[in-house]
Amino acid sequence: MQPASDANPSAPFLRDFTAFLKHPFLALGPRSRGDDQRGRGTEFEATLGGSCRGVSVEPLKPDRFGVATLADGDVLVYAASVLTQRLNAGQDLHPPITASPNEILRTLGKPTDGRHHTLLAASFERLATTNVRFALLRVRHSAGQHNHSPQNFAYAGPGFSLIEWWERPPRGSRAPWRFRLPTWLVSEIESKQILKIEPSLLQRRGLERRVAGWARAYLGQRSSWEIDIAQVYRLAGALTAPRQFRHELRALVARQPIHSVTLVFDPTQQKLRVTHENALIRASIDGPSLGTEHPAEGEPFDIPEEELRALLAHRT
């Protein structure tokens, strides 16, 4: 007897992990075709907040798969939405998620043809073979000075995956696919570190999606925030060269693609400023979040030490 599928979340109940909206666990996209046709063997490191803690994201099977991207993160949106339904129903969050590929794709607003089945399977592979590590300590070279060179990050432990395991039935079988999130992500659901998102967020790609996620996560009881352009590059999870990234950022600002959010590039101060006409952006765009959210202290992208250690404690 095949296991029953999980309930299929409807679009108004989509959830994403706060950590993925805020921090560069996922690359913006694969490298360009000229650099690496399949995005294989790619790796990036980013700094977080004033303490310059680092995140290293690397493929465990660089000969077969590249690092997971924001587009692959749609699978994690589906998982967060399913587990949120379980949480609200008082059910156990730890059993594997079971669903047909069509159920997953429909929930994410995608076509259900064979090509998208193949793309979905590739997303699962990249999520399962991407390794994330945190730097809990960095080297200071002189008083008040920080060197952002990656070799000055001290990474803690072997890291953790974004999906613990997944499996699909043999070709021709109608049995559902099964997968399990790592313990640290299940713990994020249990502590309600998730946010309600609009389905339109999943239609965005690359830098546009990253900035929209930042706006969703950080513009709470504040109407605007700003960040140095150099820090935007480090926090975006970009695999492109800095010059190309700046070009993409300027083009994004020129397009103004995020509803009710204004992006301003300040060339004099070299800052990106994000503003909203209503400080209660969550209520006006996405509705209330599930769980308690706290405005960030200090620099908006700093991960508290205790949060990092909690993530490491729950890694698989």
Asked if the structure places residue 245 within a domain, the reply is: no
List of the chain residues with pLDDT < 70? 1-7, 10-12, 31-55, 62-63, 134-158, 220-221, 277-316
Measured CA to CA, the distance from residue 249 to residue 265 in angstroms comes to: 9
Determine whether 16 is exposed, middle or buried from the number of CB atoms within 10 Å of its CB (0-12, 13-18, 19+): buried
Tokens 């992990």 -> residue? 17
Asked if residue 212 belongs to a domain, the reply is no
In this structure, the strands spanning 130-138 and 53-59 are antiparallel
Hey, which bits of 50-182 come out as E strands? 53-59, 97-99, 130-138, 140-142, 145-146, 153-155, 165-167, 177-180
Whole-number pLDDT of residue 260? 86
- State the burial class of residue 316 (Cβ atoms within 10 Å of its Cβ: 0-12, 13-18, 19+): middle
Measured from the Cβ of residue 230, the count of other Cβ atoms closer than 10 Å reads: 14
Question: From CA 255, how far away is CA 232, in angstroms rounded?
Answer: 18
Query: Is residue 276 included in any domain, yes or no?
Result: no
How does DSSP classify residue 27? B
Domain annotation covers residue 165: yes
Structural domain including 307 reads: 11-203+286-313
Q: Which residue, among 15, 3, 1, has the nearest Cα to 177 in the 3D structure?
A: 3
Q: Would you call 175 exposed, middle or buried from its count of C-beta atoms within 10 A (0-12, 13-18, 19+)?
A: middle
Indicate whether 242 belongs to any domain: no
- Residue 101: count other Cβ atoms within 10 Å of its Cβ: 19
Q: Taking the mean position of all CA atoms in its chain, how far away is CA 82?
A: 17
| Residue 209 resides in a domain | no
List Cβ neighbours of 54 (8 Å cut-off, separation of 6 or more). Answer: 45, 46, 47, 48, 134, 135, 138, 150, 153, 155
Q: What distance lies between CA 38 and its chain's CA centroid?
A: 20
Per-residue model confidence (pLDDT) at position 84: 95
Distance (Å) of CA 232 to CA 48, 82, 209, 220, 242 = 10, 31, 13, 19, 10
Task: Look up residue 11 and give its two tokens.
Answer: 């679009």
Q: Is 279 domain-assigned?
A: no
pLDDT at position 129 is 92
Residues 6+ apart with CB under 8 A from 95: none
Please state the domain count of the chain: 1
Closest CA to 261 of 313, 208, 305: 208
* Buried-exposed string 143-162: b where 16+ CB fall within 10 A, e elsewhere: eeeeeeeeebbebeeebbbb
Which pTM was predicted?
0.78
The confidence score (pLDDT) of residue 156 equals 55
- Interatomic CA distance for residues 191 and 293, integer angstroms: 11
Give the pLDDT confidence score for residue 39 in this predicted structure: 37
As a whole number of angstroms, the distance between CA 130 and CA 152 comes to: 22
Nearest Cα neighbor of 211 from 251, 172, 151 is 251
Name all contacts of 257-264 with Cβ < 8 Å and 24+ positions apart: 257/204, 257/208, 258/208, 258/211, 258/212, 258/215, 259/285, 260/284, 260/285, 261/212, 261/215, 261/219, 263/211
* In-domain check, residue 210: no
3-state secondary structure of 180: strand
